[in-house]
A and B are shown apart, each in its own frame.
Chain A
Amino acid sequence: MSLTIGARKIEAQEIREQEIGEQEVEGQEIGGQEVEAREVEGREAEAREIKGREVEGREVEGREGVRREGTRWVAGSGDPPASSAEPGTLRTHSPFPLTEARRARTPLTPTRTRQTHTTLTPTGTSQTRASLTPTRTQRTRTALTLIGPLVRAIDWAPLAAVTVFTAALVSLVEAGNELSVGTALNLMRIGGVLLGGAAAFALVDPVAANAGPAPVPRWVRQGLRCLLSGSVAMAVWLGAFAVVVSRLPSGQLFPLPDLLVEAVVGLGTGLAVAATAARFTSGRQAALAAVVAHLVLVLVTMLLPAGVQLWPPTCGYGHWYEAHRFWLVMSPLPLLWLAVANRDVR
């Protein structure tokens, strides 16, 4: 059995690989124009195919921003493969080239040619997986390259809506009067919960199911999404804090570090729960798990004994310092949970 990949398709794949970031596989740089006469070892072929899927994934994921690339991909795969009907054939005209190759469950070893076609012969593979593992620098570079497409892929509308809502909340409540500290606390907490819920929408990846074999691990992709949306949410929260502080009576105790700890715990919990939900479903409803989690968290903390106050209603009084020391100690937990939830699904 032999397998032929049309040269134009490889070109198209190359373009994609260039865009995603140049990576060395087996000491050979994939990229540039030496595509057609390139030595492709079995695992390399697989890696390249994997990349192909990753690129496909990115196109769909960043459907609004990267659709242009998708079009190019389709244009590049215009040639029907010569032997697409054969079992074990890599049908590169398919939007999911690996699906067919995997189904065949046949290791592919290419024979080196310097023609415009690369022939792959299914035999045993001799390459080790370790040789394909990208170095830290390569991974960082790839991750950085991902930021742009991810920024375009993330659904920012919820954060935008919540930003407007929070702005209205902190400026319109008791408008014209000084805010009481209790109200200010409630506003900051409500804003924090909503921002956490909105940031969680960034974790929704509609094509997560297809992005599994991508060379960039899931935790990097999801971690970047968390980082991007989380930092925007925190920035908005800080802005809301500034507005609230400006409306408080002068000299009023309203400590930023303590409230920041609350916000970080709330945001972290929301993202962690949404990240967990995103492992089970690819729909946008996964993000709402964050809101449900916040509701449950507040209700559960009400069940604590009367002497334990985790959401003190007055700054500096009651169990304020104990509660915030507790949240400070607990703050790494949601982040750890987030890291675990962002692992590879398979």
Chain B
Amino acid sequence: MTGHPAGNPTGHDARHGAEHAVRRGAGHDVRHDTGHNAGHDTRHDTGRGAGRGAGHDAGHGAGHDTRHDAGRGTAGREEDRDAGAEAVRVPSRRAPVLPRRGTSWELFVFETRRLTRSPILWGTAALVLTVQTYLSHDQQPDMGVDPIAATGMASCLAGAVLLVANLAASRDGRHGMPESLAGLPSGAEHRTRAVLFAAPLAGGLAAAVVLGLHLVVRLLSGPVAGTLDLYEPLAAVAASAFAAALGVAVGRWLPWLIAGPMVIAALGFLIFQNPANGPAGWWLPVMQHHYPDWPDRPSGVHLVYVLALVVLAGGIASLRHGIRPAPLVAVVAAVAVAVPAGATAASVRQGAPTGSGWAARADVDPRLRDRFLGPDAHRCEERAGITYCAYPGYVPWIPLWEEAIGPVVRAVPPERRHLVPPVRQMTSSWFFGEDIESRAIRPSMSWGHPDQRKRLAEDLSLNVAGFHLSCDARGQARTLVMLWLVGQTSPITRPGSLRIDSRLSRRSLVDYGDTEVGYARRLLATPGARERVRTHWDTLMRPSTTLERALPLLGLDREFPISKPEGTPCR
């Protein structure tokens, strides 16, 4: 299989020579009937077009296929009928000689029909849709992030598209087809063109269906935050089309079927490594690494870049059949568009702190300082006496936050609710620029994980109970009340790490032991606990009130050993 004898009919045996003679005859007929350019037709029919197909299999052992076809069992024959022979028959059914345009159209329709029925394509599409929907099912929809995350998963679909397009483009080199196809008036170039138009169409359709359905599911699955940038899902569709065109190019230029998976592996690895690629990742067709608090993505330019890549790959695939003006112009134009577009996209710096050492407000990305930390960064509204401030686009999530802390707020005596701090949304990238002196409950820019609900309840309870610094709260009565407040919405557990979002997590500010947890659970199960807490609120909240003293006030029996603080006691 070394050396691709493309377009080189020399060296074929007498049988091949005879076929070329026949083909030349056919070419003359076509030229005569349709009045096409003589030189073009002859070159096409005798040269790279059909000759490539024959040469391809010659690389695998000329002479074999004839014998193989003659003696092939029923399975092989059926496959031929399915795969290649039908393609051949489509033009020949109508008339012995067809105008070129008609043949190309018929081939395109055939390929489109065949590719849009591919079980690999739709099986992967269903799987990708299921996986992406499953992975995002516990997160609230955010249209600023979801389409981008789906783009990453759609890379798997693009891989399947590449494979299917590759198989379609290289089909006429298998199934013993070269000899059968050699006598046709339309050559390999027409078949390439047909697949080249059909495969991106089918691949793009599959990606559009997956992205569309996924976004519909997301839109229906709760209050939606963020704004949809239509270029993002379109970029995924374009990436799928690019994979298809690349599959055709690989199928035409590289004789081994394994080349397709190798290209998938290389591109897949690079895309998977995108978090480490930095802005250079924009040179790849898929750039799925993004956070909602990062600068705006150059999505429009990237879409143009990917579309240019589609044309580039298509042109390269067409150039396999000879250097013609149309594909050459397409390649040059595509490069002329892709290079500046890619460079523009890659020049957009991702969100990263500037400076070094301890990060402060001055180190926040200047493009985003005002957007996330400025005085007008939040949209605020008041609900049940509590102020909720969200970034523009995230206001629909305020009811979710209210639902998470509402029971805790209601457990606080009304006369003490002024202790409840405001709820202000924070970013995970620029949290160090926040005014940490100001008391606030800070939900992040994602919502859905149980830890996030618990964190809000815990922050509120700590604030209400007067814990503002890291300390050991063992043996104090207010620790018990604080845990009881958390228990209004979340399970009471030992202090541990709580997830803020996919990037950050946080340890509890105060330390406590099993004793406090045990009594808090008892208190939660005690009828009339809310009234007792309300009655003795001031006593219980005093740092000097011990747990032993609180137990009778709350109607609890002494069950667990009371331990002394192990670290700095809370004051």
Given the known inter-chain contacts A157-B256, A207-B68, please indicate yes or no for A296 contacting B167, CB distance below 8 A.
Answer: no
Least CB distance, B266 to chain A, in whole angstroms: 8
Least CB distance, B210 to chain A, in whole angstroms: 12
Interface size class on chain A is: 35 or more
From B73, B79, B257, residue with most partner A Cβ within 10 Å = B257
Q: Are A210 and B73 in contact (CB under 8 A)?
A: yes
Given the known inter-chain contacts A60-B68, A63-B61, A209-B75, please indicate yes or no for A285 contacting B256, CB distance below 8 A.
Answer: no
Chain A residues, CB < 8 A from B71: 56, 60, 95-96, 207, 209-210
Q: Are B261 and A284 in contact (CB under 8 A)?
A: no
Given the known inter-chain contacts A282-B76, A296-B127, A303-B134, please indicate yes or no for A155 contacting B1, CB distance below 8 A.
Answer: yes
Q: Are A283 and B174 in contact (CB under 8 A)?
A: yes
Chain B residues, CB < 8 A from A194: 258, 261-262, 265
Give Cα A106 to B134, complex, Å: 62
Q: Are A299 and B131 in contact (CB under 8 A)?
A: yes
Q: Does A317 contact B (CB under 8 A)?
A: no
Chain-A contact segment, one of B86-94, B156-164, B415-423, B523-531: B156-164
Give Cα A207 to B74, complex, Å: 12
Contact flags (1/0) for A184-216 with B, using CB distance below 8 Å? 001100100110011001000011011010000
Chain A residues, CB < 8 A from B135: 302
Complex partner residue of B75 from A157, A187, A280, CB under 8 angstroms: A280
Give Cα A302 to B174, complex, Å: 35
From A56, A60, A197, A291, residue with most partner B Cβ within 10 Å = A291
Q: Does B503 contact A (CB under 8 A)?
A: no
Q: Does A147 contact B (CB under 8 A)?
A: no
Complex partner residue of A95 from B64, B67, B79, B131, CB under 8 angstroms: B67
Give Cα A98 to B148, complex, Å: 61
Give Cα A244 to B260, complex, Å: 24
Give Cα A300 to B61, complex, Å: 39
Give Cα A303 to B571, complex, Å: 48
Least CB distance, B524 to chain A, in whole angstroms: 27
Give Cα A155 to B1, complex, Å: 9
Complex partner residue of A303 from B63, B130, B266, CB under 8 angstroms: B130
Q: Does B269 contact A (CB under 8 A)?
A: yes
Q: Are A60 and B269 in contact (CB under 8 A)?
A: no
Q: Does A132 contact B (CB under 8 A)?
A: no
Chain A residues, CB < 8 A from B1: 155, 157
* Interface set, chain B 211-266, CB cutoff 8 A to A: 255-262, 264-266
Q: Are B61 and A288 in contact (CB under 8 A)?
A: no
Least CB distance, A190 to chain B, in whole angstroms: 5
Give Cα A282 to B69, complex, Å: 11
Q: Does B175 contact A (CB under 8 A)?
A: yes
Complex partner residue of A288 from B60, B64, B260, CB under 8 angstroms: B260
Q: Are B272 and A284 in contact (CB under 8 A)?
A: no
Please report the total number of B residues contacting A with Cβ < 8 Å: 47
Give Cα A197 to B163, complex, Å: 13
Q: Are A158 and B256 in contact (CB under 8 A)?
A: yes
Given the known inter-chain contacts A64-B61, A155-B1, A283-B79, please indicate yes or no for A303 contacting B261, CB distance below 8 A.
Answer: no
Q: Are B160 and A292 in contact (CB under 8 A)?
A: yes
Give Cα A165 to B64, complex, Å: 29
* Interface set, chain A 286-320, CB cutoff 8 A to B: 287-288, 291-292, 295-296, 298-300, 302-303
Q: Does A1 contact B (CB under 8 A)?
A: no
Given the known inter-chain contacts A96-B71, A299-B131, please indicate yes or no for A161 contacting B262, CB distance below 8 A.
Answer: yes
Q: Does B128 contact A (CB under 8 A)?
A: yes
Chain B residues, CB < 8 A from A169: 266, 269
Q: Are B259 and A295 in contact (CB under 8 A)?
A: no
Chain B residues, CB < 8 A from A298: 156
Contact flags (1/0) for A37-67 with B, using CB distance below 8 Å? 0000000000000000000100010011001
Q: Does B38 contact A (CB under 8 A)?
A: no
Give Cα A190 to B269, complex, Å: 8
Q: Are B131 and A303 in contact (CB under 8 A)?
A: yes
Give Cα A201 to B67, complex, Å: 21
Least CB distance, A276 to chain B, in whole angstroms: 14
Chain A residues, CB < 8 A from B362: none
Least CB distance, B506 to chain A, in whole angstroms: 20
Q: Are B272 and A60 in contact (CB under 8 A)?
A: no
Give Cα A212 to B134, complex, Å: 46
Q: Are A209 and B72 in contact (CB under 8 A)?
A: yes
Chain A residues, CB < 8 A from B61: 63-64, 67
Give Cα A198 to B73, complex, Å: 26
Give Cα A299 to B128, complex, Å: 7
* Interface set, chain B 105-127, CB cutoff 8 A to A: 120, 123-124, 127
Chain A residues, CB < 8 A from B470: none
Nearest A residue to B257, CB-CB? A284
Give Cα A296 to B124, complex, Å: 7
Chain B residues, CB < 8 A from A96: 71
Least CB distance, B277 to chain A, in whole angstroms: 12
Q: Are A288 and B131 in contact (CB under 8 A)?
A: no
Nearest B residue to A180, CB-CB? B276
Chain B residues, CB < 8 A from A285: 167, 174, 257
Q: Does B273 contact A (CB under 8 A)?
A: yes
Nearest B residue to A345, CB-CB? B75
Chain B residues, CB < 8 A from A287: 257-258
Give Cα A158 to B130, complex, Å: 32
Nearest A residue to B269, CB-CB? A190
Least CB distance, B199 to chain A, in whole angstroms: 15
Least CB distance, A263 to chain B, in whole angstroms: 15
Q: Are A302 and B131 in contact (CB under 8 A)?
A: yes
Give Cα A281 to B175, complex, Å: 10
Chain A residues, CB < 8 A from B76: 209, 281-282
Q: Are A209 and B120 in contact (CB under 8 A)?
A: no
Q: Are A299 and B72 in contact (CB under 8 A)?
A: no
Q: Does A162 contact B (CB under 8 A)?
A: yes
Nearest A residue to B64, CB-CB? A63
Least CB distance, B382 to chain A, in whole angstroms: 36
Nearest B residue to A156, CB-CB? B1
Give Cα A96 to B156, complex, Å: 45
Q: Are B163 and A291 in contact (CB under 8 A)?
A: yes
Complex partner residue of B67 from A60, A186, A288, CB under 8 angstroms: A60
Chain B residues, CB < 8 A from A283: 79, 83, 174-175
Q: Are A284 and B269 in contact (CB under 8 A)?
A: no
Give Cα A18 to B76, complex, Å: 30
* Interface set, chain B 47-68, CB cutoff 8 A to A: 60-61, 63-64, 67-68
Least CB distance, B316 to chain A, in whole angstroms: 19
Give Cα A212 to B76, complex, Å: 14
Q: Does A171 contact B (CB under 8 A)?
A: no
Give Cα A250 to B501, complex, Å: 34
Give Cα A338 to B70, complex, Å: 30
Give Cα A142 to B73, complex, Å: 25
Q: Are A161 and B269 in contact (CB under 8 A)?
A: no
Q: A282-B72, A291-B261 are in contact. List 4 more A-B contacts (CB 8 A).
A: A206-B68, A209-B71, A283-B175, A302-B134
Top-4 shortest CB links A-B: A209-B73, A158-B258, A63-B61, A63-B64
25 pairs, A vs B, C-beta closer than 8 Å: A60-B64, A60-B68, A60-B71, A67-B61, A96-B71, A157-B256, A165-B265, A183-B273, A190-B265, A193-B265, A198-B258, A201-B257, A207-B72, A210-B73, A282-B75, A282-B76, A283-B79, A283-B175, A291-B163, A295-B156, A296-B127, A298-B156, A299-B124, A302-B131, A302-B134
Interface residues of A (CB under 8 A from B): 56, 60, 63-64, 67, 95-96, 155, 157-158, 161-162, 165, 169, 173, 183, 186-187, 190, 193-194, 197-198, 201, 206-207, 209-210, 212, 280-285, 287-288, 291-292, 295-296, 298-300, 302-303
